[in-house]
Structure 1
Amino acid sequence: MTDIAAPAAASIVVPHLPAERLARRVVTGAVPTKVTTRSPFDGSPIAELPESTPEDVTSAFARARLAQTAWAKRSVRERAAVFLRFHDRVLERQAEILDIVQTEAGKARKHAFEEVLDVALCSRHYGRRAAGYLRERRRAGALPVLTKAVEVRHPKGVVGLVSPWNYPLALSIGDAIPAFVAGNAVVMKPDTQTALTALWAQDVLIDCGLPEDLWQIVLGDGPVIGTAVVEGADYVGFTGSTRTGREVARRAAERLVGASLELGGKNAMIVLADADLDRAAEGAVRACFSSAGQLCVSIERMYVHQDVHDAFVDRFLGRIQAMRLAPGYGWDTDMGSLVSRRQLDAVTRHVDEAREAGATVLVGGRARPDLGPLFYEPTVLADVTPEMAVCAEETFGPVVSVYRYTEEEEVLTRANESAYGLNASVWTRDTRHGEALARRLRAGTVNVNEGYAAAYGSAGAPMGGMGDSGLGRRHGAEGIMKFTEAQTVATQRLLPIAAPFGMTDEQWARSLTLSLRIMKTLRVR
């Protein structure tokens, strides 16, 4: 095993956070129970946050519904203008939100910055494109000329969002933006550990012109408060584990409301024999260890062609050995901390069980309490076999397994064997061939010569999973249309759709049959 020369832990200067002011935005009763959140960097307390009750959730939905009625009456362009202002404000005040995200999630600053970029891109995209996505559209009528058909889009009403801790800015307000622009209100339950991030975004958005009651934030235990959000919503968005996602889907289905679910992943990266190995190794570090691997689209399985396996692994391990692990708020850190003891235990279990069963730890493989209570080294495993949990289960930490392959058909089969289907990555100098392989991978997004950022950062393109990785898509047209109800308004002119002028029903049927044949011949759509 190769050691990682990480810098020793330094004293952390914790930035001032407006925790007490932001906490007052949580929807609660008069004397709420409070919970203390703690920094992953060193375990120090961050904030005392009030917890909501199911009755508070009911109250939040009532206020949100009143606000949504007036909001929906505004034009799409007027609603979108709020988020174009928000785009500018987030970029101007990024130092504040980077401090908050790092304090709550324990990630390196450059990984927190990915969230700022995502929210800015999403705000600009829907700020500019929403009017086009949502405009009324003429559709082919039942009878050419005689029937006018128009598709109209209406907001769902109040959207319930349950957002996770791992990307607390991008997966809270990033998911809410299209819902708001489409004319909805939002009741959200962010993870309590990272709630200040969502509360900060809410505070800034209100300054940008979002009506005060349109975004309601509740906090509390997922099975209680999360369930109340799901059961009160007109549409549900959930990001989290596949196990919980199934329960969310079941509850939404019982109420006949729609749901969008981004769930787990066991994402594969394929390095072809002709890949630029230096570029691939550099990209692999980002793909595997951004946010300490606590990213649903991060790479956990790596398949490298036999002809370049050793050369690639040498380059990959060399870059990992040079990584800088540390707590703190500077830009000179390559990887931060895991977010909780639960995550640390899960990562430790996967690695230790694999090692005991015969896997080889090429680098990393241990916790780093000298850096902080929840640090774990970036880890590369070889000789992983199917019976090991790390082979098929999502680790959600800084761990990747490396496998050799010889034939493309073999590697495509192995990459597609997972029950998950969220993200994948292909590395080759022949991008046309890489794109052809990408189309054969069972994943909602596939990146060629990038790990995840190319697809995820393309705000106009859909992002989501297949199989056990979920339902629905964020970003692009699907990312906003899912928050709307489609309505057809059809107007019949001159003649009814019935036998006219004394025709018998049989004559009318023969006339329609002839008309249909003529329209097909004339290629009428």
Structure 2
Amino acid sequence: MAFLQRALFPASRAVAARSQFRRSALPAIANPFVRLSSTMRPKLRDPSLFKENVCYVNGEWVAAGSGKTFEVHDPATGELIGTCPEFDAQDTEKAIKAAEVAFEEFRHRTGRERSKLLRKWYDLMVENAGDLATLITWENGKPTADAKGEVTYAANFLEWFSEEAPRIYGDTIPSSVPGNRVFTIKEPVGVCGLITPWNFPAAMITRKIGPALAVGCTVVCKAPGETPYTPLALAELAHRAGIPRGVVNVITALNNTAEVGQVLTTNPTVRKVSFTGSTPVGKLLMKQCAGTLKKLSLELGGNAPFIVFDDADIDLAVAGAIASKFRSSGQTCVCANRIFVQRGVYDEFAAKFADKVRAFRVGNGFQQGVTHGPLIHQRAVDKVEQHVRDAQQKGATVVLGGHKLPDLGPHFFQPTVLTGMTAEMAMAAEETFGPVAGLFPFDTEEEVVRLANATPVGLAGYFFSRDLHRVHRVAEHLEVGMVGVNTGLISDPAAPFGGVKESGFGREGSLYGVAEYQVTKMVTYGGMGRPLQR
């Protein structure tokens, strides 16, 4: 599923004044772009982790009942990586049935037993980190260093939730009725349907499966059609870790994605659905879940504001903006999408920011020294180019980049910096999801908070300031689910991840993420008021 989000942004919020930043003040852009031979195929230390033409259902590797498959292509070269099963509704029903049967036994395992299983899975991820990173780079395109970072991040979810599994507590509650005692039990919700995106093919799997297994749920996970091999490799490691058959099921589909999603959201056996993806698709899935009133968590599109105040540490702000905006070539839901810089430091920030971007090396993620890889597919490239052209036509200045890189491959786009951005431009209203940074000038705190909140979505927001009072004030007024203050990186297995407004609801990671897979059962015990028998 495309991981892109459109949002309305009122044109009346225009920033009237334009930047005086001069392009001539910067040295000419270099061409630090490299190409890797398209004939090279990466090698795995353990080739058995590459699972082609099979999905993992009920502890076994199976093909689609129809025998149909779909192709997966390397986004850097366009070459065929392999094929995967095109699961349909009937295949999905079988996976749900396997999870249902497994749930009846798995739910009764102790938290300590489930903890050991998750810990073993974590250990295997660490042992096979190199191969997992290779798969991520191959099918997603992100550079090897980024891919290794994702593997560590993904494994840490399994470790963190393994430590939570033995600590599932209920409460005792004082009753207002004499003689009664009230207590609560935390129980697993049941079979869970998980739908994950392509931009973090390992981490989005473990962030959902980790808490589900920790509390005793079983899962059917629909892997993204663009990046299915990493999830399938994780399924193989789950198998080796001894996770019982039917507890973890990983299925694939591309052309049948809507059909599989329909089954996961309407089958009454599935009691919880967790989806990460676009807001329009999230709304559709929510409607489909209504018929069976499933527990639901949605992590949807964003339009993250990144605010630099006059009193900020500019070097720190530049580093934070680079980390937030250009991570995975801008293809994350919490990327800085609108960079607001107060007018007093606008030119200084723009110059230093452009210098950092100029040092990037774009190319095949397997090439040594490459910092940024391709976008995931042609639709992503087209949207990025459209946003740049729209901004140019409406008066923005392209300081760096602004063009495709066809000599490198079909899906490469130059890291781009735009100045003189205004609210009439498409980038102000739509999530770009690519390596394009637009710098918007602003004058006052009140103005920028209004601009930051003038969007129907609210996932993440960032701001840089050394004024303690402003830190608390702005953090409370930003209409987002997560705020980064003087940092561009906010993700942590121990921190609750999620948004507000049309960015969805529910939280992943942290103890709040555990609760998303639980139901609270209340028990009232009467007859406790009688006197003791002597």
* Structure 1 residue 126 corresponds to structure 2 residue 161: yes
* Structure 1 residue 168 corresponds to structure 2 residue 178: no
Give me the whole-angstrom Cα distance separating, in 2, the residues matched to 1:67 and 1:150.
Answer: 28
Q: CA deviation at 1:188?
A: 1.2
Q: Counterpart of 1:157?
A: 190
Q: How does 1:352-371 map to 2 (within 5 A)?
A: 352-371=389-408
Give me the whole-angstrom Cα distance separating, in 1, the residues matched to 2:157 and 2:336.
Answer: 23
Question: C-alpha deviations, 1:291-339, integer Å up to 9, x for none?
Answer: 1111000001011111111011100000001111110325522111101
| One of 51, 54, 72 as aligned partner of 1:24 | 54
Residue type of the partner of 1:14? R
| One of 469, 473, 481 as aligned partner of 2:507 | 473
Q: Counterpart of 1:9?
A: 35
Give me the whole-angstrom Cα distance separating, in 2, the residues matched to 1:240 and 1:374.
Answer: 21
Q: How does 1:388-399 map to 2 (within 5 A)?
A: 388-399=425-436
Aligned residue for 1:415, secondary structure, equals: helix
Q: CA deviation at 1:431?
A: 5.3
Give me the whole-angstrom Cα distance separating, in 2, the residues matched to 1:482 and 1:80.
Answer: 18
Q: How does 1:217-236 map to 2 (within 5 A)?
A: 217-220=250-253, 221-232=256-267, 233-236=270-273
* Structure 1 residue 114 corresponds to structure 2 residue 114: no
Question: C-alpha deviations, 1:218-242, integer Å up to 9, x for none?
Answer: 2223211122222222100011110
Give me the whole-angstrom Cα distance separating, in 2, the residues matched to 1:281 and 1:291.
Answer: 17
Q: How does 1:282-431 map to 2 (within 5 A)?
A: 282-330=319-367, 332-430=369-467
Q: Counterpart of 2:134?
A: 99
Q: How does 1:497-508 map to 2 (within 5 A)?
A: none
Aligned residue for 1:332, secondary structure, equals: coil
For the Cα contact (< 8 Å) 1:301–1:401, is it kept in 2?
yes
Question: C-alpha deviations, 1:12-46, integer Å up to 9, x for none?
Answer: 64213547645423454445111111101101111
* Structure 1 residue 242 corresponds to structure 2 residue 279: yes
| One of 85, 88, 104 as aligned partner of 1:53 | 88
Give 5+ residue unaligned stretches, structure 2.
1-22, 57-61
Q: Counterpart of 2:14?
A: none
Give me the whole-angstrom Cα distance separating, in 2, the residues matched to 1:157 and 1:393.
Answer: 37
Q: Counterpart of 2:124?
A: 89
Give me the whole-angstrom Cα distance separating, in 1, the residues matched to 2:55 and 2:195.
Answer: 17
Question: C-alpha deviations, 1:124-144, integer Å up to 9, x for none?
Answer: 221112332x22321222336
Give me the whole-angstrom Cα distance separating, in 1, the residues matched to 2:413 and 2:329.
Answer: 8
| One of 480, 483, 492 as aligned partner of 2:526 | 492
Q: Counterpart of 1:501?
A: none
Q: Counterpart of 1:456?
A: 491
Aligned residue for 2:184, secondary structure, equals: strand
Residue type of the partner of 2:520? A
Q: Counterpart of 2:245?
A: 212
Give me the whole-angstrom Cα distance separating, in 2, the residues matched to 1:351 and 1:279.
Answer: 26
* Shift in alpha-carbon separation, 1:431–1:38, aligned structure 2, 3 A: farther
Aligned residue for 1:387, secondary structure, equals: coil
Structure 1 window deviating more from structure 2 (103-112 vs 236-245): it is 103-112
Structure 1 window deviating more from structure 2 (313-322 vs 208-217): it is 208-217
Give me the whole-angstrom Cα distance separating, in 2, the residues matched to 1:437 and 1:28.
Answer: 52
Residue type of the partner of 2:29? D
Q: CA deviation at 1:10?
A: 3.1
Question: C-alpha deviations, 1:109-168, integer Å up to 9, x for none?
Answer: 222233223223212221112332x22321222336x22111101111110011111111
Higher Cα Rg: structure 1 or 2?
A: 1
Q: Counterpart of 2:475?
A: 438
Q: CA deviation at 1:86?
A: 2.1
Give me the whole-angstrom Cα distance separating, in 1, the residues matched to 2:524 and 2:160.
Answer: 31
How many pairs are equivalent?
491
Give me the whole-angstrom Cα distance separating, in 1, the residues matched to 2:242 and 2:312.
Answer: 49
Give me the whole-angstrom Cα distance separating, in 2, the residues matched to 1:70 and 1:494.
Answer: 33
The TM-score with structure 2 as length reference comes to 0.88
Aligned residue for 1:366, secondary structure, equals: coil
Q: CA deviation at 1:379?
A: 1.5
* Shift in alpha-carbon separation, 1:124–1:372, aligned structure 2, 3 A: same
* Shift in alpha-carbon separation, 1:208–1:73, aligned structure 2, 3 A: same
Give me the whole-angstrom Cα distance separating, in 2, the residues matched to 1:328 and 1:302.
Answer: 27
Q: Counterpart of 2:4?
A: none
For the Cα contact (< 8 Å) 1:118–1:174, is it kept in 2?
no
Q: CA deviation at 1:391?
A: 1.4
Q: Counterpart of 1:512?
A: none
Give me the whole-angstrom Cα distance separating, in 2, the residues matched to 1:174 and 1:15.
Answer: 27
Give me the whole-angstrom Cα distance separating, in 2, the residues matched to 1:440 and 1:5.
Answer: 42
* Shift in alpha-carbon separation, 1:284–1:79, aligned structure 2, 3 A: same
Aligned residue for 1:131, secondary structure, equals: coil
Q: Counterpart of 1:513?
A: none
Give me the whole-angstrom Cα distance separating, in 2, the residues matched to 1:390 and 1:433.
Answer: 27
Give me the whole-angstrom Cα distance separating, in 2, the residues matched to 1:52 and 1:331.
Answer: 37
* Structure 1 residue 257 corresponds to structure 2 residue 294: yes
For the Cα contact (< 8 Å) 1:4–1:363, is it kept in 2?
no
For the Cα contact (< 8 Å) 2:51–2:233, is it kept in 1?
no
Q: CA deviation at 1:197?
A: 0.6
Q: CA deviation at 1:432?
A: 6.0
For the Cα contact (< 8 Å) 1:119–1:173, is it kept in 2?
yes
Aligned residue for 1:352, secondary structure, equals: helix
Q: Counterpart of 1:509?
A: none
Residue type of the partner of 1:467? K
Aligned residue for 1:193, secondary structure, equals: coil
* Shift in alpha-carbon separation, 1:270–1:29, aligned structure 2, 3 A: closer
* Shift in alpha-carbon separation, 1:20–1:201, aligned structure 2, 3 A: closer
For the Cα contact (< 8 Å) 2:65–2:91, is it kept in 1?
no
For the Cα contact (< 8 Å) 1:4–1:377, is it kept in 2?
no
For the Cα contact (< 8 Å) 1:161–1:189, is it kept in 2?
yes
Give me the whole-angstrom Cα distance separating, in 1, the residues matched to 2:176 and 2:473.
Answer: 40
Residue type of the partner of 2:523? V
For the Cα contact (< 8 Å) 2:397–2:419, is it kept in 1?
yes
Residue type of the partner of 2:81? I
Q: Counterpart of 1:179?
A: 212
The TM-score with structure 1 as length reference comes to 0.90
| One of 214, 222, 229 as aligned partner of 1:196 | 229
| One of 103, 107, 112 as aligned partner of 1:68 | 103
For the Cα contact (< 8 Å) 1:147–1:493, is it kept in 2?
yes
Please report the RMSD computed on the Cα atoms of aligned residues, expressed in angstroms.
1.9
Q: Counterpart of 1:507?
A: none
Question: C-alpha deviations, 1:50-89, integer Å up to 9, x for none?
Answer: 1111001111111111111111110011101111222222
